[in-house]
Amino acid sequence: MSSIDLKATQSPHILVLGMGGTIAGLAQEPKNKPLQYQAGQVSISNLLGQIQEAIPKGLTLISERLVNINSKDLSESVLTQLALTVLSSLNNQAVQGIVITHGTDTIEETGLFLQLTCGKAAQTLGKRVVLTGAMLPGNAPAADGPSNLLNAVQWASTLLENCPGGVYGVFAGKVCMAKDLAKRHGTAPNAPLMDSPTSPLNLINPSWLAGVRAAESAWREDLPVPHTDEWPWVEILTSHAGARPQTISQWLGSGVKGLVLAGSGMGGFHESWKTPLDRALASGIALVRASRTGAGLVRSDIPEKDPIGCMAAGSLSSPRARIALQLALNAAKQANLVGKPLTWQDFFARIADLPEIR
């Protein structure tokens, strides 16, 4: 029989890391009000107990709780803890794969973060890191958590010769690259996959697989994981009708290191922002233009030429662009400490230019 061993072991196993979220949530009235629930209430061991009978025969799972939170409260220190745990686990020969249960609200940020800090390691070692979660709490009648968790375990453990190691997301019976996870609906069961190129778990789409290989071959080096107290301060600001210059100018002198501008359309921002943004650039604040639309490309010098110190986000959404900018700023700092004259733009360009899967 398959087993769930909660004690440390050196025998081959899948490591399941619990971070809370809706998948670990409970509703007070699950039948009548399933969306009124509290996230992060169920332990990861209990979640695994729900699928124990369906776990592939001979497979051992070991669980570890990192946090048990509502993912809207995800912090940078937790991301650091997660990446360091994933990297050390990938280098453990006994770990065959890693599953992470995560809230869907900020899974978009975590998916890109893990790709940029752990993706090359996972690919090189031929292991899969799999993010999953749920849209309904565990005690709701149509709870999707158990099936998502089981599918994630299957994807992390299945030996598929034609599919490389890497960082993936699994929801609603489908798989995508974790960097493409994007919650674009508040309640739909497949919300984290709505805008993501996907493939069925058991019947890999050849065009999707080709896109995975292209994206992973383009990512040649993982970025350093920021220490808990060294994450650069970056904020997201949204351009809208009636936007005021104070939205920008209030950040001058605040210590903020970067601003992601969630612009309208192709990443344009309000005319009233131009003068304070020039001042922000002059003071050394890094700027990235993204789009508030949630889809499509933001291209360099379109709709007008970008000033030096401002970069286009490419296909990155505003939340992803923020994580990318933070990691790029940190990577540039670390490079300069060892005498490599690289800028945050050098690192950000590598991220924004990753091939899209279509």
Give the rounded percent of residues in the chain with a pLDDT score beyond 70: 96
The pLDDT value given to residue 193: 84
CATH value at residue 298: 3.40.50.40
CA gap 233, 120 in Å, rounded:
26
The pLDDT value given to residue 274: 95
Q: Is the pLDDT of residue 5 over 70?
A: no
Query: Are residues 49 and 196 located together in one domain of the fold?
Result: yes
Query: Are residues 104 and 41 located together in one domain of the fold?
Result: yes
Query: Are residues 177 and 101 located together in one domain of the fold?
Result: yes
* Last residue of one domain, picked from the residues 165, 185, 218: 218
Query: Are residues 212 and 261 located together in one domain of the fold?
Result: no
> Residue 223 falls within a domain, yes or no?
no
What's the full length of the chain, in residues?
358
Query: Are residues 241 and 182 located together in one domain of the fold?
Result: no
> Residue 227 falls within a domain, yes or no?
no
Q: Is the pLDDT of residue 314 over 60?
A: yes
Sign of CA dihedral 241, 244, 247, 249: positive
Question: Is the CB of residue 228 less than 8 Å from the CB of residue 326?
Answer: no
Query: Are residues 213 and 242 located together in one domain of the fold?
Result: no
What mean pLDDT do residues 246-259 have?
Answer: 96
* Last residue of one domain, picked from the residues 218, 244, 271: 218
The pLDDT value given to residue 161: 59
Q: Is the pLDDT of residue 295 over 90?
A: no
Domain span at 300:
234-352
Q: Is the pLDDT of residue 292 over 50?
A: yes
> Residue 167 falls within a domain, yes or no?
yes
**Residue of 199, 231, 237 whose CA lies nearest to 326:** 231
The pLDDT value given to residue 155: 93
Query: Are residues 102 and 175 located together in one domain of the fold?
Result: yes
> Residue 278 falls within a domain, yes or no?
yes
The pLDDT value given to residue 2: 42
Please tell me the least confidently modeled range out of 2-6, 32-36, 249-253.
2-6
CATH value at residue 173: 3.40.50.1170
Give pLDDT tens digits for 33-81.
888 888 889 999 999 999 999 998 889 999 999 999 999 999 999 999 9
Q: Is the pLDDT of residue 306 over 50?
A: yes
**Residue of 218, 38, 32 whose CA lies nearest to 116:** 218
* Last residue of one domain, picked from the residues 218, 247, 269: 218
- Give the count of domains, the chain: 2
The pLDDT value given to residue 158: 77
Question: Is the CB of residue 257 less than 8 Å from the CB of residue 234?
Answer: yes
Q: Which bin fits 40, alpha (ψ -120 to 50), beta or left (φ > 0)?
A: left
> Residue 208 falls within a domain, yes or no?
yes
> Residue 245 falls within a domain, yes or no?
yes
Query: Are residues 182 and 251 located together in one domain of the fold?
Result: no
Query: Are residues 214 and 144 located together in one domain of the fold?
Result: yes
Query: Are residues 24 and 86 located together in one domain of the fold?
Result: yes
Give pLDDT tens digits for 155-203.
998 766 567 899 999 999 999 999 999 888 888 878 888 778 899 988 8
Sign of CA dihedral 237, 38, 228, 353: negative
Give pLDDT tens digits for 111-148.
999 999 999 999 999 999 999 999 999 999 989 999 99
Query: Are residues 65 and 214 located together in one domain of the fold?
Result: yes
The pLDDT value given to residue 325: 98
> Residue 229 falls within a domain, yes or no?
no
Across the chain, what does the average pLDDT equal? 91
Query: Are residues 170 and 248 located together in one domain of the fold?
Result: no
> Residue 290 falls within a domain, yes or no?
yes
Give the rounded percent of residues in the chain with a pLDDT score beyond 90: 73
